[in-house]
Structures are given as C-alpha cells and as structure tokens.
Structure 1
C-alpha cells in the first residue's frame, strides 16, 4: 500500500526525487528544513494532500501548480527566500491555515480573499504596507497575525470579519486607529503595540463588545478616551506603557 504520509523534513534535500510521484494517495507531505531552491510543478498532482510543509529553506518561488491542491487544509511556507505568493493559492478552497511568515513579501495576492474556509492567517515578519480590500471576505477567519510589517492602514472591509477573535498588529506603521475593528462582535485580543498612533478616536462605550485584551504599549498617547476606561471597567485587560 502506498504511503499516506511522507516526512522528508530536515534531511538535507536539494531536489525533490521524482520517485515521490508514485505516492498518488499522499495526504501529508513534509519537506521543511531542507536546502531546496526550486520545486517541481508535479507537486500539484497530489490532489489529495491535506498538509504541505515547505518552510525553513532557501526556496526562491512557489509553483502555480500548488493551486491544484484542492483538498489542502494546512500550508506552511514560512522562512523562505520568496518575495511573493502565487495568485493560484486563491484556488485552495479547503484551506484552513496559511503560514507565510518571515519572508520578503511586499504584497499579498487579492485572490486569497476567496479562501472562505480559512481560519488562521499568519503573515508576520514581512514587508507589507497594506492588505487587499478582498480580505474582508475571509468570513471564517478567527486569527490574523500581522506583526513586524510596515502596514499603514487596514481595509475598511475588515468590519466584515465577524468571526475574528485575535488580531495582532504589533510593530507596524499605523497612524490612524482602525475604527472598523470596534464593531467586530467576537474580537477578544487586539495588539497594537509599537505603532505610530498618537491619538485614539472617540467611540461609543459599547465598542469592542467581546474584547478581553487590548495592548497599547509603546504608543505615544497623551489622552486616553472614555471608551478605553469603560473596557477596563468591563474586565478587559488594557496594557499601556507607564508614563
């Protein structure tokens, strides 16, 4: 019987052996922590794959054929030498998790907004300055990690992310508070540390109805509006840098 799982992680591979193509029933493929710089287009033939880990190696690009992995649920493409993601990833309609951290991404494709089953998206440690408006269509998204980028604004469409629980924006370049987040009914953790915010807007005292943690450390905020105090009274942990 052909293997359902192949783990070649950390084995020093510099090329993918064509003999792997025989494993037509593969469900999990681990190629992380190797020395691969390219990938064969035939990886897209493993249409039954659920998990694919390509992280931590000097890959220069990802093949468009990955868009044919129609049953893929978990994709790990962190710590590579890539500067973009293929538009074809928007065809992975069963994807639940995408980790593309610590790369050189200056932008991400709008096509990812079609990933309506996506629950967790990790893009921290890149060079992003903004996100496409289409990401407001990620209606199943629960966690979004964007730390250590250069994001200046969030799409106005983010008020549509009604399942979002965790949003981390530490160490970005926000100058205006993303008011649209205050209307998210399930948002619990919001991290805004080390941005360029110098003021917070006036919001209704019922803003952020489910928030449990708000991190405002390392921001220059001479005035804190009443809604922040209302959060504290409600039991939300609000972290600020001591004056």
Structure 2
C-alpha cells in the first residue's frame, strides 16, 4: 500500500513539475523501486532528489534529462551501477552515499563537469582510475567506505590513496575519514586549494612533510589515528582555525605548532603528552583547548596568554596544582579539571566570573576557596569523589547554581 501511495505521489509531482516548469523535483522517501517513465518528459529539469528510496539501479530515463546538474541517490540499494550514469555528462553534483556499492563504476570518469561527489558509506576498497578525469571537483567525500559493519567486512575501506588524487587541484574539501589508511601520498601536498581535510578514524602513523603545502586549510581533523609525531611543516598552515589531534599516540608536539596563530579550536585529548611547547602561548585566538587524557603534571605559564579561551579542559591528567594565572582567563565559561591529583585550588579562580560549569570531580581536594562565591553565573558544579569535609559559606551566594554533586566526599550532612 505504501509503495502504491509513493508511486502515485511521484506521478503527481512529475505532472506538476511539467505544468509549472519547475527545475527542481523532490521524489525522496517515497519507497520507489522504479521511476515513472514520464520523468523523461522533464527535459528542463536541473535538480532531482531520489534519496531514501528502494532503487537498485540508475533509472535509464535519466538519460533523457539534458539539463540535469544535481542528482541525489543517497540511501538506496545500488549494489552496482549501470553505464547509464556515465551518460549524465551535465551533472555537477552527485550524491551516492549510503548505498551498497561494492565497486565504483569506471563510467564515473565521464562526468567531467562534476564539482561535488559523495561516495561515502558504501562498501568500496578501491577507486577507479577514471576518477582522475574529474579535475573540476571541489568537494569529494570518500568517508566510511566499508566501515558500516567492519566486523563483517574487515577488508573493505580504503587502505591507500591513488597518486592521481594529486591531480584534483581544484578540491577545497576532502573527507577521507573512517577508512583504513596507513599512509598518505606525498602528492596530497598538491591540493593547495583545500580548506577542509578530514583524515579522522584511520590508521595513520606518520604524516608527509608535504602536508605543510596546504596553506589554505582552515579545518584539519586527524582524530583517532595512531600518530606518534607531527611534521614540523604543520606550522606552515597559518590559516587553520580548527585542529583536532585527539585520540592519537603523540608524546611531543613540534614548536612550530605555535605558528598557527589563527587557531580558535585545538583538541589534544587522548594522547601521551607529558609536556607542552612554550610556543603554545602564541595561540592567542584560541577559544577552545582540550588537553584531557594525557600525562601532564603541570600547565605551562604561557597558557596564561590565551585570554580568549572560553573552554579549557584538562581532565584525566596528573596535575597536582592549579596555577594562579588561570584566574586571568576571565572569558572562561567551562573549566574542566576532573580526574587529576589536585589537593587545593588558588583563590584566583574566583576571578572567573563568566564560568557556567566547573568540573573538579575525582581529585583529592580537602577544601574550596571562599572566592568561588564570586562565580555568580555558575550553573553546574561537579565535586564528587574528593576529600571535602565542608563547603565555603560563599557557595550559598550563587543564584544560578542548579546542579551540584558532592557524592563520594566525607562531608557532614549539616555542612551540605
């Protein structure tokens, strides 16, 4: 019944499109397993959405749409693709993500007008060499190839990148996340127009020095790899605003990281860092800094230069003290220092009057400074699993405090 309703709806929308001359047609989510032949009459059609249907092949009627520039086939059942696709030479945007494709057809290489191609979330382990013809591409998404069910398809997903990728020099966005890449080709450095590069969730252990050629990059994600070191040339990426290096195996950082003066977000969560370079203090535009789950015993004084920070997280390190200078970062709204070895807090924390969340659980705190009563914007205070026996009376002056957790402290009920 549902498929019949979808078929009728498709016919109605095609008829309406034919009458009013619309260049856009939405046939998504109709449960269609085939497309009405009347679609061939829409010779003026430029944009067609067939996503979330039950199509098992590219409808041959698409060949009759000479003006078609955008085609969305996301979330169908296209295990294979016929040569029909290669005839759609006017296409500029093609979305094939979330299908069952085990092989990308050679005919994709005919679509030389393509500027955007999305092949993500399919079952690919290789790319056809004909894709080297797509030199007009500006956005290419190859994420999660074979990673939908890696326990059943352990050999799928990209393990290497072809050398011809370096020919696609118009690319501005490249997503290679959630594959099985162990190395990157030097030719990646040819893609000097890239502004976004996502390499997260791979198996990279090193990065090529040519990464430093990508001077237009504004966002670089390397989350969830196996990196043990970073190239000095990373410091050439002076337009970067977001850099995610979390969940790797980094033990040190290059001093050149301090050259990235445009950074607003830096995540170093989940590495093996024991110290930070002094040059980190040059990143004065940072608003978010995550140092959680490392092996830091102290925080360098140069971090006090980062006065634009609104979020500073250093959970799960080996910190034994909070530096006085932290009270100078008065724009902070979130401060996370849980899971360390803190026994006391400096009075200067009372200067952080913009704080809305303060996380201190899992330390060895025996007392809190009275100056915490100055944090009148505070809404969440996490203090569980410390050694507190009493609370400062000034906490009663916090009008917006809606959540406080004191469990796991030897505090007297009368003092709560």
When the two structures are superposed, what TM-score results if normalisation uses the length of structure 1? Answer: 0.94
The partner residue of 1:218 within 311, 316, 324 is 316
User: How many residue pairs end up in the alignment?
Assistant: 240
Tell me what 1:31 maps to: 119
Tell me what 1:83 maps to: 182
SS at match of 1:153: coil
Q: Indicate how the Cα distance of structure 1 residues 116 and 152 shifts in structure 2: closer, same or farther if over 3 A, else same.
A: same
SS at match of 2:301: coil
The within-5 A match list for 1:17-166 is 17-57=105-145, 58-166=157-265
Tell me how far apart the structure 2 counterparts of residues 52 and 36 of structure 1 sit (CA, whole Å): 15
Greater share of helix residues, 1 or 2?
Answer: 2
Segments of structure 2 that go 5 or more residues without pairing to the other structure are 1-65, 67-89, 146-156, 339-359, 364-416
String of CA shifts for 1:41-93, please: whole Å, max 9, x gaps: 33222111011011112122111111111110110101112211111111001
Tell me how far apart the structure 1 counterparts of residues 95 and 310 of structure 2 sit (CA, whole Å): 39
| Conserved 8 A contact 2:118-2:142 | yes
When the two structures are superposed, what TM-score results if normalisation uses the length of structure 2? Answer: 0.56
| Conserved 8 A contact 2:240-2:262 | yes
SS at match of 1:214: strand
Segments of structure 1 that go 5 or more residues without pairing to the other structure are none
| Conserved 8 A contact 1:42-1:65 | no
Q: Indicate how the Cα distance of structure 1 residues 203 and 15 shifts in structure 2: closer, same or farther if over 3 A, else same.
A: closer
String of CA shifts for 1:194-243, please: whole Å, max 9, x gaps: 101012233485x1132222111111211222212322xx2323221132
Computing the radius of gyration over CA atoms, which structure comes out larger, 1 or 2? 2
What RMSD, in angstroms, separates the aligned Cα atoms of the two structures?
1.4
Tell me how far apart the structure 2 counterparts of residues 135 and 27 of structure 1 sit (CA, whole Å): 28
Q: Indicate how the Cα distance of structure 1 residues 146 and 203 shifts in structure 2: closer, same or farther if over 3 A, else same.
A: closer
Tell me how far apart the structure 2 counterparts of residues 35 and 202 of structure 1 sit (CA, whole Å): 49
Runs of 4 or more, structure 1, over 3 Å off, are 202-205
Tell me what 2:368 maps to: none
| Conserved 8 A contact 2:110-2:133 | no
